[in-house]
């Protein structure tokens, strides 16, 4: 009887029982003595879910499960007999008077059952939230519920929990495959040790963790921060710790699924498209792999190599580290000296906090008290403060063991304070490799610093009329003779200090190898990004001057713009246009923010980047190769117009030269062309390859990373090629994109991108041809050739002699690749 609920009065319940039994299989309830046969189903009172028999894949095996009732796609969220399928359609679900459920076939063989619960007047009922429960009249709670025996799916309102009194956990385990509901290899569960976290296991191996709860989400799931689609809750109770979510819009169907291939996906049903769309997915990159960089190291997916030692630490196994094997981690350079009170702390910002399984949590303790507590404890290695669930209190997290599984993000994240000996506190920020400037324009930082130094030296020469007898000074003077035409506006220190609130941490946007970057607002109300050169910056004069020669005169609407500089004593600062929308990667690789980039905007970004590259390659007074074009180096202004930034790796071709070679291969994994990665050969076609990768990322919302994974779908280029060849190119489109979408432009963009990522440089078009094709040239583009990275991947996957992952970019092995 749909909508019937157990009443607390036993006599009333008994009176209603005959009617209930008569209608038991027609609604949401099963009464004792009645059966649910294959072909029948229970449907929740609001019609959202149904309990019935189903077949998965091409098999004839039958399972009893719960699925969505009003969605065209058969989406199963719970399976009773996942490891004991019925061989035919004779299955029957029976419910006895002792409150037990039993699934058997026509021969009486039992394939699944629940224990006896002996409630008074029991009934089994499918609730509106998909929980199948056994209840008794007048009894509180459930005698049994399917939510306590989940399969692979966490639904809204369902708890991912651990009972701290009994140790009981609700574990969510993947299917064996997309067609086999049997227990798979991956398990999602909550660990209540230390500061509670969510873990993903492959067998018994930890492969991913959520990090601790930090007020608005888990520190390792940046997609949860500032989210306006879901409500997230976490309760770290003394008896029970649990996490749950709900959709803000009740009409939106959403679920969290542990996939057979080891991904945790948040999926949303898009009614207009008639399919489930992946909203988030974890692990999303190599830094999400648990302990990828070893102890006392930090992982940054935006850098190559991704692993680096924390300040004050050095590789434990330098030889392995040089081979990009960082699993041994790092060790201290200098032992801490707790007794004399000379130790201090270094800040590591924007982190997913290290593993907190063995951490100690002190409630209601602020930053100062937390610092003091760590300093008093000689075994304390680091501390952090995190906001409590109600947002009004903070708690102190103390680590006394090795710092494991630490990573940094481009934006967001938590501050971690790592304990160091006094001797290691003064190490340069460049050695710490806190590399990425976030939210604001990085605005060709290396080049701009070069411009500043060139201007400063020119001014110094004019004012002091001094010359140096050293070789380095002679080089400076020679270069300044070529750079006197630079007209760089100078700003006074005082107004810049006021504009940045005395360089307040509240205005700190990030920090790179050259120093911190602050947001400022000048008296004229113009917003600027202020790059303050660190006194310990180790960049070379020759590099600076080379960069000055490269781009001092470049002016284009799709390149970042320098506004001026400041010199006052030892202070050296650059002011450049502030980009409130930050970098492109923060949008296209974030499902929430990605929805803000409609197709028209993405197409405009593609066109703008193409024009900027064409200017560098052909229309400027020099032929310049960027060598590090990627989503993180494309910045967005107020109107979402793209500007290419960060020319620190750029190269100029003198005269009629069109190709160069280097022994020092620099750049970012996933964007380097094969000839550059393998042989160090670069040309304008190297940038064309990077542009092709970028276009595919903009269209798909996926990174061209994960190339160490055996799944070819995680290689974006191979995946795009396969879809293109199968005539399914539109399936590549980012699921977060709303309508309208120009399908013709999407297909054109994919085809041009595949032309740009051809293996042989001569097969790739020049940017002039790319701009013409993007702009509406009616001449059909040549058909792309099958790239070698697809063939090579197929060969590598078929090889039985493979011993493990090889460090590759599009299946081209990298040797001697140096990070920036």
Average pLDDT over residues 279-285: 85
- 424-479 pLDDT, tens digit per residue, is 987 644 333 433 333 233 334 444 444 444 444 445 434 443 333 333 334 334 43
Q: How far apart are CA 521 and CA 543, in angstroms?
A: 31
| Burial category of 228 from C-beta neighbours within 10 Å (exposed 0-12, middle 13-18, buried 19 and up) | exposed
Tokens of 164: 């701290």
**751, 770 Cβ separation under 8 angstroms:** no
- 24-48 pLDDT, tens digit per residue, is 444 899 999 899 999 999 999 999 9
- 294-323 pLDDT, tens digit per residue, is 999 999 987 878 899 999 999 999 988 888
**210, 283 Cβ separation under 8 angstroms:** no
Higher pLDDT: 212 or 489? It is 212
Residue 79 pLDDT level (bands cut at 50, 70, 90) = very high
Peptide bond into 142 cis (omega under 30): no
pLDDT score for 803: 34
Q: How far apart are CA 327 and CA 336, in angstroms?
A: 24
Tokens of 815: 């040797």
Q: Is the dihedral of CA 703, 706, 707, 711 positive or negative?
A: negative
Q: How far apart are CA 208 and CA 266, in angstroms?
A: 15
Highest mean pLDDT among 81-95, 264-278, 675-689: 81-95
| Tokens 């006895």 found at | 96
Q: How far apart are CA 626 and CA 774, in angstroms?
A: 21
**406, 300 Cβ separation under 8 angstroms:** no
Given a cut of 60, whether residue 714 has pLDDT beyond it is no
Higher pLDDT: 105 or 120? It is 105
pLDDT score for 664: 52
Peptide bond into 283 cis (omega under 30): yes
- 491-500 pLDDT, tens digit per residue, is 888 889 989 9
Strands (E), 580-707: 623-625, 634-636, 642-644, 651-653, 659-661, 665-666, 681-683
pLDDT score for 638: 85
| Burial category of 42 from C-beta neighbours within 10 Å (exposed 0-12, middle 13-18, buried 19 and up) | buried
- In angstroms, what CA-CA distances link 316 with 333, 619, 653, 790? 10, 49, 41, 37
**52, 63 Cβ separation under 8 angstroms:** no
Peptide bond into 305 cis (omega under 30): yes
Higher pLDDT: 99 or 141? It is 99
Higher pLDDT: 394 or 256? It is 256
Residue 654 pLDDT level (bands cut at 50, 70, 90) = low
Higher pLDDT: 22 or 714? It is 714
pLDDT score for 777: 62
Q: Look at residues 669, 650, 431 and name the one whose alpha carbon lies nearest to residue 550.
A: 650
Residue 250 pLDDT level (bands cut at 50, 70, 90) = confident
Average pLDDT over residues 796-811: 34
Mean pLDDT estimate for the chain? 78
Residue 661 pLDDT level (bands cut at 50, 70, 90) = low
pLDDT score for 788: 63
Given a cut of 50, whether residue 577 has pLDDT beyond it is yes
**682, 659 Cβ separation under 8 angstroms:** yes
Lowest mean pLDDT among 266-275, 611-620, 631-640, 665-674: 665-674
Given a cut of 70, whether residue 7 has pLDDT beyond it is no
**213, 236 Cβ separation under 8 angstroms:** yes
Q: How far apart are CA 451 and CA 576, in angstroms?
A: 12
Q: How far apart are CA 392 and CA 366, in angstroms?
A: 11
Q: How far apart are CA 401 and CA 404, in angstroms?
A: 9
Could you give the angle at the alpha carbon of 750 between the alpha carbons of 797 and 283, nearest 5°? 50
Strands (E), 394-542: 394-399, 406-408, 414-420, 490-491, 508-512, 515-521, 527-532
**693, 717 Cβ separation under 8 angstroms:** yes
Tokens of 613: 């590259």
Q: How far is CA 335 from the centre of its chain?
A: 34
Average pLDDT over residues 535-551: 43
Which residues are bridge partners to 52 per DSSP?
Answer: 41, 65
Percent of the chain with pLDDT over 90: 38
Which residues are bridge partners to 313 per DSSP?
Answer: 332
pLDDT score for 624: 84
Higher pLDDT: 229 or 408? It is 408
Higher pLDDT: 501 or 550? It is 501
Average pLDDT over residues 233-240: 88
Assign 321 to helix, strand or coil: helix
Q: Which of 300, 628, 646, 759 is catalytic?
A: 628
**211, 197 Cβ separation under 8 angstroms:** yes
- 755-787 pLDDT, tens digit per residue, is 999 988 999 999 999 998 998 766 667 788 876
Tokens of 480: 């300044």
pLDDT score for 590: 84
Higher pLDDT: 512 or 563? It is 563
Lowest mean pLDDT among 222-226, 326-330, 395-399, 596-600: 222-226
- 170-200 pLDDT, tens digit per residue, is 999 999 999 999 999 999 999 989 999 999 9
Q: Look at residues 389, 368, 388, 372 and name the one whose alpha carbon lies nearest to residue 380.
A: 372
- 194-212 pLDDT, tens digit per residue, is 999 999 999 999 999 999 9
Q: Look at residues 242, 232, 198, 154 and name the one whose alpha carbon lies nearest to residue 352.
A: 198
| Burial category of 193 from C-beta neighbours within 10 Å (exposed 0-12, middle 13-18, buried 19 and up) | exposed
Lowest mean pLDDT among 237-251, 412-426, 584-598, 769-783: 769-783
pLDDT score for 789: 52
Given a cut of 80, whether residue 680 has pLDDT beyond it is no
Q: How far apart are CA 466 and CA 742, in angstroms?
A: 63
Q: How far apart are CA 133 and CA 263, in angstroms?
A: 29
Given a cut of 90, whether residue 12 has pLDDT beyond it is no
Higher pLDDT: 466 or 414? It is 414
Average pLDDT over residues 8-36: 59
Percent of the chain with pLDDT over 70: 75
pLDDT score for 88: 94
pLDDT score for 522: 86
Average pLDDT over residues 704-730: 71
**746, 699 Cβ separation under 8 angstroms:** yes
Instruction: Reply yes or no on whether 628 is catalytic.
Output: yes
Given a cut of 80, whether residue 220 has pLDDT beyond it is yes
Given a cut of 50, whether residue 351 has pLDDT beyond it is yes
Q: Is the dihedral of CA 599, 602, 603, 604 positive or negative?
A: positive
Q: Is the dihedral of CA 223, 226, 230, 231 positive or negative?
A: positive
Which residues are bridge partners to 65 per DSSP?
Answer: 52, 79
**454, 480 Cβ separation under 8 angstroms:** yes
Q: How far apart are CA 407 and CA 221, in angstroms?
A: 12
Domains (range + CATH), the chain: 1-149 (2.90.10.10), 150-284 (2.90.10), 287-427 (no CATH), 445-577 (3.30.200.20), 585-818 (1.10.510.10)
- E strand or H helix at 818: strand 817-818
Q: How far apart are CA 500 and CA 721, in angstroms?
A: 48
CB 812: neighbour CB atoms within 10 A? 19
Residue 743 pLDDT level (bands cut at 50, 70, 90) = confident
Higher pLDDT: 444 or 681? It is 681
DSSP string covering 344-393: EEEEEEEEEPPP-TT-EEEET--HHHHHHHHHH-TT--EEEEEE-TTSS-
Average pLDDT over residues 334-349: 88
Lowest mean pLDDT among 26-35, 668-677, 741-750: 668-677
Tokens of 710: 């055996």
pLDDT score for 404: 96
**773, 765 Cβ separation under 8 angstroms:** yes
pLDDT score for 475: 39
Tokens of 297: 């190291």
Given a cut of 90, whether residue 749 has pLDDT beyond it is yes
Residue 393 pLDDT level (bands cut at 50, 70, 90) = low
- 107-153 pLDDT, tens digit per residue, is 989 999 998 887 778 999 999 999 999 998 666 789 999 999 999 99
Q: How far apart are CA 48 and CA 709, in angstroms?
A: 38
**DSSP one-letter code for 664:** S
């Amino acid at each position: 009887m749909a909508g019937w609920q157990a009443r607390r009065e036993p006599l009333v319940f008994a009176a209603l029982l005959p009617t209930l039994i008569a209608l038991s299989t027609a609604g949401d309830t099963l009464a004792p003595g009645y059966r649910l046969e294959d072909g029948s189903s229970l449907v929740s009172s609001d019609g959202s879910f149904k309990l019935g028999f189903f077949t998965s894949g091409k098999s004839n095996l039958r399972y009893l499960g719960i699925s969505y009732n009003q969605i065209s796609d058969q989406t199963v969220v719970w399976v009773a007999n996942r490891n004991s399928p019925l061989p035919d359609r004779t299955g029957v679900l029976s419910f006895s008077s002792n409150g037990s459920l039993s699934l058997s076939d026509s021969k009486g063989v039992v394939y699944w059952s629940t224990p006896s619960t002996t409630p008074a007047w029991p009934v089994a009922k499918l609730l509106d939230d998909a929980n199948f429960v056994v209840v008794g009249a007048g009894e509180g709670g459930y005698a049994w519920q399917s939510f306590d025996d989940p399969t692979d799916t966490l639904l809204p309102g369902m708890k991912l929990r651990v009972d701290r009194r009994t140790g009981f956990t609700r574990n969510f385990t993947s299917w064996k495959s997309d067609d086999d509901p049997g227990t798979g290899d991956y398990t999602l569960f909550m660990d209540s040790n230390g500061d509670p976290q969510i873990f993903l296991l492959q067998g018994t191996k930890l492969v991913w963790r959520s990090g601790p709860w930090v007020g608005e989400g888990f520190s390792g799931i940046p997609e949860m921060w500032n989210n306006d689609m879901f409500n997230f809750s976490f309760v770290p109770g003394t008896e029970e710790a649990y996490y749950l979510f709900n959709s803000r819009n009740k009409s939106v169907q959403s679920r969290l699924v542990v996939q057979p291939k080891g991904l945790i996906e948040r999926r949303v049903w898009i009614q207009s498209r008639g399919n489930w769309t992946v909203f988030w997915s974890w692990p999303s990159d190599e830094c999400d792999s648990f302990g990828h960089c070893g102890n006392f190291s930090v992982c940054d997916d935006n850098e190559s190599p991704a692993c680096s030692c924390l300040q004050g630490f050095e590789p434990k196994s330098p030889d392995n580290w040089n081979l990009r094997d960082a699993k041994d981690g790092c060790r201290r350079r200098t032992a801490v000296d707790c007794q004399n009170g000379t130790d201090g702390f270094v800040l590591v910002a924007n982190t997913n906090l290290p593993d907190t399984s063995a951490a100690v949590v002190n409630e209601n303790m602020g930053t100062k008290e937390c610092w003091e507590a760590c300093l008093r404890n000689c075994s304390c290695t680091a501390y952090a403060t995190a906001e409590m669930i109600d947002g009004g209190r903070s708690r102190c997290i103390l680590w006394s063991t090795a710092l494991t599984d630490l990573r940094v993000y481009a934006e967001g994240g938590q501050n971690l304070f790592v304990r160091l000996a006094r001797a290691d506190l003064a190490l340069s920020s460049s050695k710490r490799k806190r590399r990425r400037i976030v939210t604001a324009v990085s605005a060709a930082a290396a080049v701009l610093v070069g411009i500043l130094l060139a201007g400063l030296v020119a001014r110094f020469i004019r004012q002091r009329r001094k010359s140096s007898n050293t070789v380095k000074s002679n080089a400076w003077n020679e270069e300044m003779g070529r750079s006197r035409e630079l007209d760089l506006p100078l700003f006074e220190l005082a107004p810049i200090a006021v504009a940045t609130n005395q360089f307040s941490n509240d205005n700190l946007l990030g920090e790179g190898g050259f120093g911190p970057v602050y947001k400022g607002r000048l008296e004229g109300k113009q917003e600027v990004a202020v790059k303050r050169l660190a006194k310990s910056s180790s960049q070379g004069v020759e590099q600076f001057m080379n960069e000055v020669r490269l781009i001092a005169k470049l002016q284009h609407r799709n390149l970042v713009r320098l506004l001026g500089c400041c010199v006052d004593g030892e202070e050296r600062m650059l002011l450049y246009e502030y980009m409130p929308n930050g970098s492109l990667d923060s949008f296209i690789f974030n499902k929430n923010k990605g929805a803000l980039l409609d197709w028209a905007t993405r197409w405009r970004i593609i066109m703008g980047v193409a024009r900027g590259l064409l200017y560098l390659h052909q229309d400027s007074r020099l032929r310049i190769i960027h060598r590090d074009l990627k989503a993180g180096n494309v910045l967005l202004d107020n109107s979402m117009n793209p500007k290419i930034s960060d020319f620190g790796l750029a190269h100029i071709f003198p005269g009629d030269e069109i190709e160069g070679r280097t022994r020092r291969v620099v750049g970012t994994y996933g964007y380097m062309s094969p000839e550059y990665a393998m042989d160090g050969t670069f040309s304008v076609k190297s940038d064309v390859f990077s542009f092709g990768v970028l276009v595919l990322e903009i269209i798909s919302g996926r990174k061209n990373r994960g190339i160490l994974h055996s799944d070819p779908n995680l290689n974006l280029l191979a995946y795009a090629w396969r879809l293109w060849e199968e005539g399914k190119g539109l399936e590549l489109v980012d699921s977060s994109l709303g309508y309208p979408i120009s399908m013709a432009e999407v297909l054109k963009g994919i085809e041009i991108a595949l032309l740009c990522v051809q293996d042989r440089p001569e097969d790739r078009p020049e940017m002039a041809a790319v701009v013409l094709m993007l702009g509406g040239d009616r001449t059909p583009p040549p058909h792309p050739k099958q790239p070698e990275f697809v063939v090579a991947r197929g060969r590598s996957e078929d090889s039985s002699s493979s011993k493990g992952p090889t460090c590759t970019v599009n299946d081209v092995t990298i040797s001697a690749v140096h990070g920036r």
